[in-house]
Structure 1
Amino acid sequence: MASLNLMTAPVKVPRSTYRQEQAEATRVRIADAAQRLFARDGYGSTSMDGIAREAGVAPRTVYAAFRAKREILSVICERWLERAGARERARAVLDLDDGEQRVRGAAAWLVGLYATDFDVVRVLDAASDEDEDTRGLLAAKLRGRNRVMDQLIASAEPDLAVPLADAQALFRAYAATGVYAALVVDAGWTPARFEGWLADTLVAQLLR
């Protein structure tokens, strides 16, 4: 399966037929059902038959739409990125005028992903212990996210007070899912408060 690149524009496709639209609606219904089960029961504990029951379709319909459970996970991730407007928001950050705006924009971009649906983040983390093909899929998606994060920080390089590689590593460390979970999920911070803290911290640590 191809790796995810958040900065790649979605491919334009011809107008679909009614049957294609119905098939796509079924795939979305299955993906939504799978996401609920993955979040509740865990990725490894969820079966294709269980997904079929949750979606209200026959098991053969699930297998016709998705050859393997990891393909459903890939669709869940892609739909999450679309809901978060990840590609468009990243381009908007790169269009900002100066380094501080871009660093603050990088914080907003990351929090936008988490706040859109943190359940997906947790599902992806939990699935990292699965089979080799699933681990490969998740590694590809993580590389795609990290490429965007690195690019956002690199866009502020003229204003950095530390080496670029250090700045990129610090962003990833402060923006780790465990940090967000500890402050927002466990400590009760709002996503807006987390974003403000992250942006202020990055500006203080990275910029001149």
Structure 2
Amino acid sequence: MNDVKSGLTHRQRQALETQRLIVEAARTLFLEQGYGPTTIQAVADQAGVAVSTVYAIFTNKRGLLKAIRETWHLASQVRDLYRLAHLESDPARRLELYAQASRRQWETGAAIIRIYSSAAAVDSEAAAELETALSGRRRSMQAWLAETAPLLRADLTFEEICAIHLALTRAEVYQELVEAWGWTPGAYEAWLARTLKQQFLP
């Protein structure tokens, strides 16, 4: 990101910084107050910008929601971890990298799921976006697992492998262990890697 920014003009860097401040302000307020009660004016005040600036860049709260999700995807680097996993011929190491990817996804994004759940309760289009995102995750996971399934237990069907993996790697599992019970993200990752290997390796 720094390399990209170094090739920008001062005005472009200022614009990116303004966008970052607004997205961070929206994320904070959506978590603290909920999506419904938070106003564009409140986001502008929190970010220290004019309300017209927020509207000009993001149009509405759903635009802010999309920007928050995109920022999360860039930060998590989950796709890179899955690509790295599939360079591994050892199925145990591949499952360890799957666990690392799940940790990264929810360590950076468990809050995003809460924001989307809050938004879905008051905005049907936000609810549809959440369902689309979760369906996309299922499809992506099934595509990765299709390549790994031949290395796993022969007595499990592909559908069973997908169901077990998706159940174990849900955001709610991370939230229960880390946020409710006080596990560290590292402890979650170690548990998940161990559990995936117990479930899937011959």
**TM > 0.5:** yes
Q: 1:169-208 alignment to 2 at 5 Å?
A: 169-208=163-202
Residues 22 and 47 of structure 2 are in contact (CA less than 8 Å); yes or no, is this contact kept in structure 1? Answer: yes
Which structure has the higher relative contact order (CA within 8 Å, separation 6+)?
1
The alignment status of 1:58 with 2:50, answered yes or no, reads yes
Report the TM-score, using the length of structure 2 for normalisation.
0.87
The one-letter code of the counterpart of 2:118 is A
Residues 93 and 105 of structure 1 are in contact (CA less than 8 Å); yes or no, is this contact kept in structure 2? Answer: yes
Residues 116 and 127 of structure 2 are in contact (CA less than 8 Å); yes or no, is this contact kept in structure 1? Answer: no
Q: 2:160 aligns with which of 147, 162, 166?
A: 166
Residues 106 and 153 of structure 1 are in contact (CA less than 8 Å); yes or no, is this contact kept in structure 2? Answer: no
Q: 1:138 aligns with which of 121, 130, 133?
A: 130
Displacement of 1:184 in angstroms is 0.8
The sequence identity of aligned pairs, in percent, is 34
Q: C-alpha offsets along residues 144-197 of structure 1, whole Å, 9 cap, x if unaligned? A: 322332233222111222111211111111112221111111111111111111
The one-letter code of the counterpart of 1:27 is Q
More helix by share: 2
Residues 100 and 156 of structure 1 are in contact (CA less than 8 Å); yes or no, is this contact kept in structure 2? Answer: no
Residues 117 and 127 of structure 2 are in contact (CA less than 8 Å); yes or no, is this contact kept in structure 1? Answer: no
Residues 99 and 158 of structure 1 are in contact (CA less than 8 Å); yes or no, is this contact kept in structure 2? Answer: no
Quote the Cα distance in structure 2 between the aligned partners of 1:155 and 1:111. Answer: 21
The alignment status of 1:81 with 2:56, answered yes or no, reads no
The one-letter code of the counterpart of 2:175 is A
Helix, strand or coil for the counterpart of 1:173? helix
Displacement of 1:39 in angstroms is 1.1
Between the two proteins, the alignment pairs up a number of residues equal to 195
Residues 184 and 191 of structure 1 are in contact (CA less than 8 Å); yes or no, is this contact kept in structure 2? Answer: yes
Partner of 1:4: none
Quote the Cα distance in structure 1 between the aligned partners of 2:15 and 2:189. Answer: 38
Q: Alignment RMSD, CA only?
A: 1.9
Q: C-alpha offsets along residues 48-81 of structure 1, whole Å, 9 cap, x if unaligned? A: 1111111111111110011121111111111112
Residues 81 and 98 of structure 2 are in contact (CA less than 8 Å); yes or no, is this contact kept in structure 1? Answer: no
Quote the Cα distance in structure 2 between the aligned partners of 1:25 and 1:136. Answer: 30
Q: 1:1-208 alignment to 2 at 5 Å?
A: 16-161=8-153, 162-208=156-202
Displacement of 1:24 in angstroms is 2.2
Quote the Cα distance in structure 1 between the aligned partners of 2:119 and 2:164. Answer: 25
Residues 26 and 43 of structure 2 are in contact (CA less than 8 Å); yes or no, is this contact kept in structure 1? Answer: yes
The one-letter code of the counterpart of 1:207 is L
Structure 2 portions without partners, runs of 5+: none
Helix, strand or coil for the counterpart of 1:155? helix
Quote the Cα distance in structure 1 between the aligned partners of 2:72 and 2:27. Answer: 11
Report the TM-score, using the length of structure 1 for normalisation.
0.85
Quote the Cα distance in structure 2 between the aligned partners of 1:174 and 1:87. Answer: 18
Quote the Cα distance in structure 2 between the aligned partners of 1:150 and 1:104. Answer: 17
Quote the Cα distance in structure 2 between the aligned partners of 1:100 and 1:82. Answer: 27
